[in-house]
Amino acid sequence: MTSPANSRPAFSTPEELILVLDFGGQTAQLIARRVRDQNVFCQLVRHDLSIERIRELNPKGLILSGGPASVYEPNSPQVDPQIFELGIPVLGICYGMNLVGQMFGGRVQPGTKREFGRTECQTIATDPILAGLPASSTVWMSHGDHVQETSGLLIPLMKTSTCEFAAVKHRDRKVYGLQFHPEVTHTQYGGLLLGNFVKTVCGCHGTWKISSLIEREVASIRARVGNKRVICGLSGGVDSSVVAAILYKAIGSQLSCIFVDNGLLRKGESDKVRDRFQNHFKTDLHVVDASARFLDELAGVTDPQQKRMIIGRVFIEVFRKEAESIPDAHFLAQGTLYPDVIESGANHDGPAATIKAHHNVGGLPEQLGFELIEPLRDLFKDEVRRMGLELGLTDELVWRHPFPGPGLGVRCLGELSAPRLAKLREADAIVMEELRLAGLYRQIQQAFAVLLPVHTVGVMGDGRTYEEVVAVRAVSTDDFMTADWFPMPHDILQKISTRIINEVRGVNRVVYDISSKPPSTIEWE
Ligand code: XMP
């Protein structure tokens, strides 16, 4: 093992790049994603990235994101005026538009009426950025300030009943501003506007593809790894599987994968991982069956946070021991995604970036002493899925619902024991199978069974039973921060209930969870 330094170089630059300067808006990362939907590579960077670095990255265009500040407040984040001298198009969105307004003599003021939500917007000019836009469309506003009057340098392109300058363009330069948010789906023609900006105004061809990203990543991994060995922790989930698949493509036999069976996994998970990474990809796979040790350490524990802490600690110990047994291991691969990097709020670009302590395999500390490889660092979740499919992973794996690191440990409420976990595992497998059979799996973002720590009375045949209860949970959500309970068709609920009660010994009652988040959480513990 070697130094823990994360010496990954700044992101590699493809031929056509759009940079989003991040002023702290909640939807800044969405802008980058929408631009990538146009097959143009897009990267979020700090708003104060140096002009030299921007020149070096050679973007085809710049987008200034929204942000929570007001441009006229002291210490509000500002833009380097030199960006307007680079000769490349600039698009300011919301706060970014106010910066454009301020820069070119407009007056930015708090609006008499704050505008939030859907607003009708009129198109009042002709310009390449407006190509294909109807005379009237719905946009999503979320702002207090707006550009109130201009020096004549900024020409209005769109307006709403309360905002005269909903979209503007500089008279002589390719500098634009949108007071609304084209990146959110509520803006009817947001994709069209961003597409026009990126393709027509900036002149991008839209040749970026996931497969070109795979090729680039493979080349960069090979160059970095040389003839050294890389360890990859597998969790059974999408991110770590895609990481392993791309590493396997890049370095083949120099990859060693570690899969810790903590006894808290779903039915068949361990076999699936073996099948995928030993039989399909012929990786050097180390499956460590530590289920007895986990159960031992968890004996008698009922508090959810204590369970999480124990599971996390034992995982690290088991993983470390196995990693140390692999000779010459130098790198550790992790499935850090782009939103995790952004959420760190730190330097987005360059080696100094501090990364949120996010680990897909359950929380591996930096002190393990490996150099980190993070091949998914530039990607959003949907892009990781596309990459997974391109790399030959199955639909089933790529669209798998998220499964928490502590696994069944936080779904088997109360004390954990091998028989209770076995019950839960069976019930959970029935839920999954029925959702797949009904074609509902992809409509639901997360579903699972929970074993409750109560016994209830039932009758089976002529006898009275006193057995445990299974709760079924299924939610619809965009981001897992809020979630609605899924309105499950009654016939599917009936099938699930009948099967669980008939097939899982020791369960005589099934209930369906009809609580949304907030105030409930998705998991029960
Ligand atoms: P909650 O229950 O907070 O869950 O609404 C939101 C999302 O996070 C997952 N989750 C976890 N994931 N370790 C994880 O890796 C955990 O301890 C954990 N707790 C919750 C949960 O499954 C859902 O997707």
Q: How far apart are CA 430 and CA 154, in angstroms?
A: 61
Specify whether 365 is located in the same domain as 477. Answer: no
| Whole-structure pTM value | 0.78
Specify whether 368 is located in the same domain as 505. Answer: no
**Atom of ligand 1 at shortest range from CA of 517:** 5
Specify whether 455 is located in the same domain as 380. Answer: no
Give the rounded distance of the alpha carbon of 508 from its chain centre.
38
pLDDT value at residue 1: 37
At 243 the three-state DSSP class reads helix
Specify whether 364 is located in the same domain as 463. Answer: no
pLDDT value at residue 177: 96
Is residue 59 lining ligand 1, measured as CB closer than 6 Å? Answer: no
How many C-beta atoms lie closer than 10 Å to residue 264's C-beta?
26
CATH number of the domain bearing residue 439: 3.30.300.10
Q: How far apart are CA 475 and CA 153, in angstroms?
A: 50
Between β-strands 484-485 and 90-93, what pairing exists: parallel, antiparallel or unpaired?
unpaired
| 385 phi/psi in degrees, rounded to 5 | -65, -45
**Quick check: is 8 in a domain?**
no
Over the range 331-342, which residues count as b (16 or more CB within 10 Å of their CB) and which as e? bbbbbbbbbbbb
Among 201, 230, 265, give the residue marking a domain's end.
201
**Quick check: is 403 in a domain?**
no
pLDDT value at residue 349: 42
pLDDT value at residue 299: 97
Is residue 236 lining ligand 1, measured as CB closer than 6 Å? Answer: no
**Quick check: is 4 in a domain?**
no
**Quick check: is 148 in a domain?**
yes
Is residue 513 lining ligand 1, measured as CB closer than 6 Å? Answer: no
**Quick check: is 406 in a domain?**
no
> How many separate domains does the chain show?
3
**Segments of the chain with pLDDT less than 70:** 1-14, 111-115, 143, 341-363, 365-366
Specify whether 298 is located in the same domain as 392. Answer: yes
**Quick check: is 12 in a domain?**
no
Domain range for 450: 411-512
pLDDT value at residue 342: 56
At 80 the three-state DSSP class reads coil
Query: CB–CB of 96/65 below 8 Å?
Result: yes
The CA-based angle 259-260-266, given to 5 degrees, is 95
pLDDT value at residue 360: 38
Report the nearest-CA residue for atom 22 of ligand 1: 404
The total number of residues shown for the chain amounts to: 525
Query: CB–CB of 29/393 below 8 Å?
Result: no
**Atom of ligand 1 at shortest range from CA of 360:** 15
Is residue 521 lining ligand 1, measured as CB closer than 6 Å? Answer: yes
pLDDT value at residue 6: 36
Specify whether 194 is located in the same domain as 228. Answer: no
Q: Which two tokens stand for residue 220?
A: 């960069």
CATH number of the domain bearing residue 29: 3.40.50.880
How far is ligand 1, taken at its centre, from the CA of residue 462, in Å?
42
Specify whether 125 is located in the same domain as 85. Answer: yes
Element (H, E) at 229: strand 229-234
Specify whether 391 is located in the same domain as 277. Answer: yes
Q: What is the CA radius of gyration of the chain?
A: 26
**Quick check: is 448 in a domain?**
yes
Report H helices in 22-124.
Answer: 28-37, 51-57, 95-103
Q: What is the set of active-site residues?
A: 94, 181, 183
Specify whether 257 is located in the same domain as 134. Answer: no
Q: Which two tokens stand for residue 493?
A: 């609920």
**Quick check: is 2 in a domain?**
no
Specify whether 179 is located in the same domain as 259. Answer: no
Specify whether 251 is located in the same domain as 171. Answer: no
Query: CB–CB of 27/95 below 8 Å?
Result: no
**Atom of ligand 1 at shortest range from CA of 308:** 17
Specify whether 307 is located in the same domain as 216. Answer: yes
Is residue 522 lining ligand 1, measured as CB closer than 6 Å? Answer: yes
Tens digit of each residue's pLDDT (9 = 90 or more) over 463-474? 999 999 999 999
